Amino acid sequence: METSTALQEERVPLASRIWISLADASVAILQSLVAAGALTYYFVNLRGLSTAYTGIVWLLFGIWNAVNDPLFGYISDRTKNKLGRRIPYIRYGAPIFIMAFILFWMDVPGVNSQVGLFVQMLLVLFVFDTLYTAIATSLYIMPYEVAISNKARSSIFVWKIIFMVFTIVVPVAIEATIKPEVGDLAGISFFRWFMVLFSLVMGAIIFASTFFYKEKHYTQEDEQPGFVKAFKECFANRSFVLFEVISFTIIFVQTSLMQGLWYYFDEIDVTRTPLYIALAVGIVGGVFLWINRREPWGVKLSTRLFSLAFAIGCFVIVLFGKNSAAATLAFFLFGIGFAGGMYLIPMMNGDVVDMDEHRTGLRREGMYAGVNSFITKPAISIAQWVMLSLMTAFGYDQALGKGLQSASAETGILLGWVLIPGILLLLSFLVLHWYPLDGKDWLGIKAKLAEIHKEKERKFLESKGYKLVD
């Protein structure tokens, strides 16, 4: 009974929940526009960069991701600042992050050759992602800094889901409304300046958010291991290794599905409105489903089920993607999957970090977030490369206007869009059978961790001259 009470009493202020989630969504929206379709479409279809050069950009970018993410996670875990370990990167990184985003869409004088466009896209992508890593990792970690129980973390993730819906809605809305056609100079100009102004609003939200939540400073007192040891310790955690299968898959799937929308609706003769409605119903229904069933089913079973539903949706598109009724069903299942990914993957990630603390006695959210990105961020590049390669192999011609691709190219779009995601999701469903963080024993471990955190906070306050009153 004491264990259960300790978990239930943990609370996170409403303002903190909202601002953490709002800032996280703002960063994710900009990242989604860059990684999941808009940037590739802009450089390939509107500015004329070849699909081969674009694919190389994403592969080189994936190499940089393999370096900067675990490195930043290591640095942030060791950061000691009066604002905390994470907030300084969010507050002071936001302006640079937004400037990099703006440079994507600028028509730099003299940069119109294939090499020039290649260099612009590559260099800005490197700067953008470096700041994205610093800010997004810090915001991703924040729920674990302020709560230990799944109940308290869930109160943050519910708000995250509410705002994260916009990470799907905004790119879809832009694709459906202001996406310019090839050769539409006025439309391209409007699109470019919309991106600039929109990013400034998002940047203001990210910066302002840092004044509405605080970190638990006692976590700065832990002595962290060296980089190599910290890196290896992540892989000594069996639950982390299994978690990475679904984590990589979700990043790959979300990137591929959002990118594919920009080509699917251009070339496949289906009615958009029912598909968007089905996607929205799936997301909303999925949110209610996973929030209500997380506790009785557990995070493990819930994650396996949404992976299976997501996979079925992908295979429906592979087989029947040119049929509006079948595509509507698939989009509904996509919505169920997107909701599960937004809500359950962070919950599972938190459990993995908790297990590490149980094993090592240290809170290392930054290192785990960095190593997670080391494994999963390349999925963004690979997903882009896979789709572009398959489209090209099946005869996609980037110079053609909307709806003019060959039947073979249409098939390439469908296969590049959802075949590999479907296979990865099915694999995740199978592999998670061996995921160990589930059941009463695991809940007991989490309850003990909650008590350990309370004791650490008491000692920290006393060391600063305060007395914690029970």
Q: Is the pLDDT at 7 greater than 50, yes or no?
A: no
Residue 450 lies in a domain: no
Residue 296 lies in a domain: yes
Cβ–Cβ < 8 Å for 100, 131: yes
What's residue 164's pLDDT?
Answer: 77
| Residue that wins the pLDDT comparison between 317 and 234 | 317
Residue 6 lies in a domain: no
Residue 198 lies in a domain: yes
pLDDT digits (tens, 9 = 90+) for 234-259: 899 999 999 999 999 998 998 888 88
Residue 454 lies in a domain: no
| Residue that wins the pLDDT comparison between 364 and 43 | 43
Residue with tokens 């370990």: 85
| Residue that wins the pLDDT comparison between 416 and 109 | 416
What's residue 439's pLDDT?
Answer: 87
pLDDT band at 62 (very low <50, low <70, confident <90, very high): confident
- The alpha-helical segments, DSSP class H, found in 79-113 are 87-105
Query: Out of 2-11, 145-154, 262-271, 409-418, which region has the weakest mean confidence (pLDDT)?
Result: 2-11
CATH number, domain with residue 157 = 1.20.1250.20
Cβ–Cβ < 8 Å for 20, 142: yes
Neighbours of 128 (CB within 10 A): 25
Q: Is the pLDDT at 38 greater than 60, yes or no?
A: yes
Q: Looking at the 3D structure of the chain, how many domains does it have?
A: 1
Residue 310 lies in a domain: yes
- What domain range is 60 assigned to? 14-212+219-438
List Cβ neighbours of 464 (8 Å cut-off, separation of 6 or more). none
Q: How far apart are the C-alpha atoms of 156 and 460, rounded to whole Å?
A: 25
Residue 457 lies in a domain: no
Cβ–Cβ < 8 Å for 298, 416: no
Residue 470 lies in a domain: no
| Residue that wins the pLDDT comparison between 424 and 226 | 424
Highest mean pLDDT among 24-38, 291-305, 341-355: 291-305
pLDDT digits (tens, 9 = 90+) for 254-304: 888 888 887 888 888 888 889 989 998 999 899 889 989 988 999 999 999
pTM of the model: 0.69
Q: How far apart are the C-alpha atoms of 372 and 72, rounded to whole Å?
A: 12
Query: Out of 174-183, 349-358, 460-469, which region has the weakest mean confidence (pLDDT)?
Result: 460-469
